[in-house]
Structure 1
Amino acid sequence: MADLRRALPDRALPLALTVVAVGVPVIFLAIFFLVPTANLVGRGFLDSAGSLDLSGFMQVLGRPRTWRVVWQTVWMAAVATVLSVAISLPSAWILYRRVFPLRGAIRGIVAVPFVLPSVVVGVAFRSLFIESGPLGAWGLDGTHTAIIVGMVFFNYSLAVRTIGNMWVRLDPKMEEAAAALGAGPLRVFFTVTLPRLMPAFASAAAVIFLFCATSFGLVLILGGTRTQTVETEIYFLTSSLLDLRSASVLSIVQLIVIALALWMGSLARSAGAATQKMRTDLAPQPLKRADIPALVATLVPVLVLLVAPMGMLVWRSLHRSGQITLANYQDLFNADATKFLQTSVVSSTVRSVEIALIAMVTAVVIGGLVAIVITRRPRTRAGKAALKVLDGLFMLPFGVSAVTVGFGFLITLNRPPLDLRGSFWLIPMAQAMVAIPLVVRVVSPVLASIDPRQKEVAGVLGAGPLRTLFAVEGPYAVRSLSIAAAFAFSMSLGEFGATSFLARPTNPTLPVAIYRLISQPGATEQGMALAASVLLAVLAGSVMAIVEAAADRSSRTGTSVKLVEGM
């Protein structure tokens, strides 16, 4: 604690604040992540008496089905990752290195998938691929192709932002030198630019692979019962077979696969990053005639991959049994509209908003405290090491799927001393745990970028540590925390993985209600699922609009918002 206290502020804060800033987040992490995850891992290695027993572990790994599921998860995630990165290249160039009319609007459209709930995307693409849909003749409903297309929809935005943010800061002198020596545009790109972008490729690919490998709602809706990934298999083993030990073993396998992917991405990113010369004074250039192919290659995926599915979702939500009607939306208010829900969809929406607000506040408070701690400038080597450990601990939930978090809650927080079965707080805490790493990653870059001379001046003028914290860092923190809060709210609102384990049948959240409706063949249930998906998309999209507006205001006032562009 002494080392952490010296590391916490540039000038020591009171001991009480040190204890709160470090102790509260660590206790929260231990209760709602470390202990459940450790318990889950233990289920795979220990028998009912608590003794080491690898028989169950070896039994699960010895099943051919296990390896089919693992292989199916890996290859679909890999294909979706490659496609996402490849398709994003022209868009990253056009949207970050060039200026043209409607550039801001296109960037806004590209940003939307980042906050859309997985169940909404699943329902949108299913409305295209089902037999009665416009692409029904292609036979894609329930196929691997449908799932991969949905994964690319989600992660195209992330690839564009990650690669574009690095591309816009690459010093162009090397490309100019190669062109001066006679190299054509394509040769310059493949021999000079592409190798320099490898750190961004590695960063984007590692995170995209993680998101694809842990995709749950999308696979469940688009793949149905014909496609099983590790995530859906864990859900099936738990909810249908009550085989908790096999589910624990699969969760361990998933953790290993994700850790390897992130480690390989980190190695590739580190290997290339050290050799790059970056600049921050490069302004995007006007669009040129030679950029037209790249512009077309940007507009096609934006229209086909992003706009068309969401447009079809809205259009089909206004139809039932072949007739244009508002009945789908009217039934959202009716608790008796379907026998598959015990409450109205609007009631589920209100519950989802309440839960998301609690999860947002929790994530912002815990994540904000962590961001304050890890952005201090330690005086000792031990202090630096302590902050690295703390930072790493709170990034762990980022590498663990929401399904695993929910499963851990299910088998851990069901007995004294912390029995939360039936408690309203169970779902908000699970959603907050999923959102905390995002809050930390949004807020900490802003706090770390504050010129230390501002705090030194405040100290010279007589401000104490607390006053310096609130007066100097406070304005920066408020802006970044607002952005983080919007992201956390949107993420919690559409969270499906952990909530699917924890939600009660009598009072589901909106994403869970949508899944129950879309799983039924009736016209009423299908129509209500489409309308509810539009409602959820509007709520999430509104949050995205607020985030973008906040980012624009911050950039005009001089606050760094690179963190938002780089998400």
Structure 2
Amino acid sequence: MARHGEALTLPGSRTREIVVPMISLVPLAFATVVFVWPLGVLVARAFDDSDGATLTELWDRTHAWRLLAVTGAQAAGSALAAVIVAAPIVWLLATVRLPGAGLLRAIVTVPFVLPTVVVGVAFRTLFDGPLAFAHIGDGWAAIIAAHTFLNVAVVVRVVSAAWQRVDPREVAAARVLGASAPRAFVDVVLPRLVPAIVSAFALVLLFCSTSFGVIVILGGGEASTLETEIYLQGIGYGKLPDAVALSMMQIVLVLAALGLARLVGSTRVPPAGSAADLRPPRGLRWLPVAAVLAWIGGWLVLPVATLVIASLRPGGRWGLAGYRALADTTYGPSAYSSLGYSVGSGLFAAVIAVAVGLLTATALTRGGGIVSKIGAGLSVLPLGVSAVTLGFGYVLALSTMPYEVSASPMVVPCVQALIAIPVIVGVMVPALEQVPAGLRDAAAVLGAGPLRVFWTVDLRLTARSLAAAAGFAFVMAIGEFGATTFLARADTTTLPVLIGSLMGRPGADNLAAAMAASVVLVAVSAAVVALVEAVSSPRPRRKDTAC
């Protein structure tokens, strides 16, 4: 028994005070080696090659302010379009109970995890095929449409989760007091959705401001943003100081978007909302439901369906020539070989991302102090740094290392994991925060050490969230295109990199192979997302039966 006035110390608490700072060092060390080091090498090299020009002079000669305005405008336009397109889908998923809702959520989510190069190929096929009459072709309209397709899922997940947290009794009270359904929505529901809408807008703005593959494929050689100009200055012209100066401006833009998202809401992936208040459609209520389903088909299904059909009709004739070309090894590894490598490296990357992300989330939720906060900050920063900049930094950093290190098969998975870690942290922090502290204390009182408590309590209660996070990490890893482009060799060519290479080669056969490879990647991503939805969707509670 503790004496009066003395604090009761639970068994294992002192050990936990030591363990938490120790596990915080792992994410910090990983982020330092895999993220800070290549960027530091790039910046140092840029200063060495500098001709004495100041940062302002570098911005002036690269027309950085114009590029910043163009990048911000296209990102804001894409984010606004994504919010508008997502609005009816949010209503459907947040208020209506439909059979096959899990499949519908998977259809909405798949575009977000597709590689940007695949999305570019899909929309190029769409605008040159079924929508050729619209004369969209290349340019900003095509880019914004593709960005909207990619990011609708962000808005849907963030805003629908906020809508499902609105107490339906408040809406019912407004209706009882005489408010019409639209008035009740405006007065009760909408004010609670505004922070989520602004947060989703900021996140889409962030993703679109660093877009590369879509702009390269759909820009028609004329659309230019900070991201594409960084690539042009660094790789095309070999002007490192100019590329680094543009990267600094881009980081400021991205940090502003992240700050806006943090200010008005959380950037974490929200947990699935409760389906208890969803109402099945009856009678005339099926009309708006059918309209929204058609809306989803037009925006999210049509581009992929067009890509699938085009892959089966290369040159206007039905056939499997594109898929047979996937086995071709004329220019190097076949597409099937690249797919095998992509899956293998994606699995390694998912394992690394889960390990580092879970340690980061655990340290943050257990009060790891300043070390864990620094590690968490570094784990999120890759969202805001140009993939082109990161890849270029890797090329310079690895060139100074022994061949055994630079040629290691773990380089690509580590880079892919770096992109996926923010997703793991975003999913697991809210999941771990919901674990009752009393359960941990009870396990400690019964003699369980910190690791045993973590294994039997935390992981057991958050296993479904962790499985979903691992699935998303895998599909993000196999779809990474920007940084991996710089690191790919003959034996480490991922499927997205191969698709980009095929798109750059002349000839209808290469285009057919690129479309077929894109369809294969879509199928893999869709299968994983469907599995994630099946694992993470809340199971219906069984009703108690009388004996």
Name the SS of the counterpart of 1:79 in structure 2: helix
Instruction: Spell out, residue by residue over 1:136-189, the C-alpha distance to the aligned partner (whole angstroms, 9 max, x if none).
Output: 232222211111011000111111111000001112344444444444333333
Instruction: Spell out, residue by residue over 1:224-272, the C-alpha distance to the aligned partner (whole angstroms, 9 max, x if none).
Output: 41211211221222222112211111111110001112212332338xx
Q: Cα offset for 1:288?
A: 5.5
Q: How does 1:343-358 map to 2 (within 5 A)?
A: 343-358=333-348
1:432 aligns with 2:417: yes
Structure 1 residues 101 and 479 mapped into 2: Cα distance closer, same or farther (>3 Å)? closer
| 1:563 aligned residue | none
| 2:247 aligned residue | 251
Shifted more, 497-506 versus 426-435: the winner is 497-506
Partners of 2:24 and 2:337 lie apart in 1 by: 38
Instruction: Spell out, residue by residue over 1:30-52, the C-alpha distance to the aligned partner (whole angstroms, 9 max, x if none).
Output: 111123234444556x3448xxx
1:187 aligns with 2:203: no
Q: CA RMSD in A?
A: 2.7
With normalisation by structure 2, the TM-score equals 0.89
From 303, 309, 326, give the equivalent of 1:309: 303
Partners of 1:265 and 1:365 lie apart in 2 by: 26
Structure 1 residues 419 and 17 mapped into 2: Cα distance closer, same or farther (>3 Å)? farther
Partners of 2:298 and 2:381 lie apart in 1 by: 35
Gap runs ≥5 in structure 2: 1-10, 267-272, 543-547
Shifted more, 167-176 versus 536-545: the winner is 167-176
| 2:365 aligned residue | 375
From 144, 147, 151, give the equivalent of 1:148: 144
Structure 1 residues 557 and 442 mapped into 2: Cα distance closer, same or farther (>3 Å)? farther
From 26, 39, 42, give the equivalent of 1:37: 39
Instruction: Spell out, residue by residue over 1:424-474, the C-alpha distance to the aligned partner (whole angstroms, 9 max, x if none).
Output: 332221111111111122222222211122122222322222322222223
1:229 aligns with 2:231: no
1:333 aligns with 2:327: yes
Partners of 1:549 and 1:406 lie apart in 2 by: 35
Name the SS of the counterpart of 1:283 in structure 2: coil
| 1:212 aligned residue | 208
Q: Cα offset for 1:191?
A: 4.0
| 1:129 aligned residue | 127
Shifted more, 433-442 versus 506-515: the winner is 506-515
Q: How does 1:359-508 map to 2 (within 5 A)?
A: 359-376=349-366, 378=367, 384-416=369-401, 420-504=405-489, 507-508=492-493
Partners of 1:306 and 1:522 lie apart in 2 by: 29
| 2:105 aligned residue | 107
Report if the CA contact (8 A) 1:94-1:291 is conserved.
no
Partners of 2:541 and 2:38 lie apart in 1 by: 43
Report if the CA contact (8 A) 2:199-2:261 is conserved.
yes
| 2:89 aligned residue | 91
Name the SS of the counterpart of 1:197 in structure 2: helix
1:138 aligns with 2:134: yes
1:120 aligns with 2:122: no
* Letter matched to residue 169 of structure 1: R
Aligned residue pairs: how many? 526
| 1:524 aligned residue | 509
Report if the CA contact (8 A) 1:118-1:217 is conserved.
yes
* Letter matched to residue 402 of structure 1: A
Gap runs ≥5 in structure 1: 1-8, 271-278, 559-567
Name the SS of the counterpart of 1:232 in structure 2: helix
Structure 1 residues 459 and 424 mapped into 2: Cα distance closer, same or farther (>3 Å)? closer
* Letter matched to residue 156 of structure 2: V
Structure 1 residues 100 and 544 mapped into 2: Cα distance closer, same or farther (>3 Å)? closer
Shifted more, 120-129 versus 53-62: the winner is 53-62
With normalisation by structure 1, the TM-score equals 0.86
Partners of 2:464 and 2:515 lie apart in 1 by: 35
From 320, 323, 341, give the equivalent of 2:317: 323
Q: Cα offset for 1:403?
A: 2.5
Q: Cα offset for 1:498?
A: 0.7
Q: Cα offset for 1:529?
A: 0.5
Partners of 1:125 and 1:239 lie apart in 2 by: 26
Structure 1 residues 268 and 361 mapped into 2: Cα distance closer, same or farther (>3 Å)? closer
Instruction: Spell out, residue by residue over 1:98-135, the C-alpha distance to the aligned partner (whole angstroms, 9 max, x if none).
Output: 213443332221122122221221111111112xx122
Partners of 1:444 and 1:267 lie apart in 2 by: 18
Structure 1 residues 280 and 545 mapped into 2: Cα distance closer, same or farther (>3 Å)? closer
Instruction: Spell out, residue by residue over 1:490-527, the C-alpha distance to the aligned partner (whole angstroms, 9 max, x if none).
Output: 11101001111222367521101101112234110010
Name the SS of the counterpart of 2:406 in structure 1: coil
Report if the CA contact (8 A) 2:382-2:419 is conserved.
yes
Name the SS of the counterpart of 1:12 in structure 2: helix
Give % identity: 39
| 1:165 aligned residue | 161
Structure 1 residues 15 and 79 mapped into 2: Cα distance closer, same or farther (>3 Å)? closer
Name the SS of the counterpart of 1:99 in structure 2: coil
* Letter matched to residue 209 of structure 1: L
Partners of 2:53 and 2:539 lie apart in 1 by: 58
Report if the CA contact (8 A) 2:412-2:487 is conserved.
yes
Structure 1 residues 471 and 157 mapped into 2: Cα distance closer, same or farther (>3 Å)? same
* Letter matched to residue 353 of structure 1: V
* Letter matched to residue 341 of structure 2: R
Q: Cα offset for 1:390?
A: 3.8
Q: Cα offset for 1:387?
A: 4.1
Report if the CA contact (8 A) 1:119-1:496 is conserved.
yes
Report if the CA contact (8 A) 1:231-1:403 is conserved.
yes
Report if the CA contact (8 A) 1:409-1:430 is conserved.
no
Q: Cα offset for 1:87?
A: 2.0
* Letter matched to residue 123 of structure 1: V
Partners of 1:281 and 1:500 lie apart in 2 by: 42
Partners of 2:259 and 2:67 lie apart in 1 by: 22
Report if the CA contact (8 A) 1:155-1:208 is conserved.
yes
1:342 aligns with 2:344: no
* Letter matched to residue 118 of structure 2: V
| 2:270 aligned residue | none
